[in-house]
Amino acid sequence: MSNTNEFHWERFRREWSLDAHFHHNFPSHQVGKLKPDAAYFRHVIEALDVPAERVLFVDDNPLNVEAAGRLGIVARRVCRRRRRCATPWTTWDCSPDRAPAPAHAFQLPMPMSPFPELTK
């Protein structure tokens, strides 16, 4: 799921092969819905044909995380922190009910800062 447009999505596909890292992709401009709209999340659940509790959703926006969680989706908020390390952007679960995970727990490609090691 991504709130995006056709120009950005094409760039993500071309430069980072973002679509190739997932079995399914649901960019908002193709679905016609935006996060945190519950209809967007329901569309994904129906398209995947799995129970909501079998879907993992991570996002840095608490509104999106809360909206997904209300539908029974396993939803976790991740925060970006600038750190001195080989990989400049690290993210971790910063949901209020969770202790922060180690900085290496999640490494997600961020726009304008692609990580070549994730494409290996």
Query: Domains in the chain, start-ordered, CATH in brackets?
Result: 6-119 (3.40.50.1000)
Distance CA 102, CA 6 (A): 35
Mean pLDDT of 105-110: 39
Q: What is the mean predicted confidence (pLDDT) over 99-118?
A: 39
d(C-alpha 75, C-alpha 21), whole Å: 19
pLDDT, residue 82, reads 52
What letter represents residue 120's amino acid?
A: K
Instruction: Provide the pLDDT for residue 80.
Output: 65
For 10-19, the pLDDT digits (tens) are 998 888 888 8
| Angle CA 65–6–33, to nearest 5 | 40
pLDDT digits (tens, 9 = 90+) for 42-100: 999 999 999 999 998 988 889 999 999 999 999 988 876 654 434 444 444 454 454 44
With contact defined as beta carbons under 8 Å apart, do 107 and 87 qualify? yes
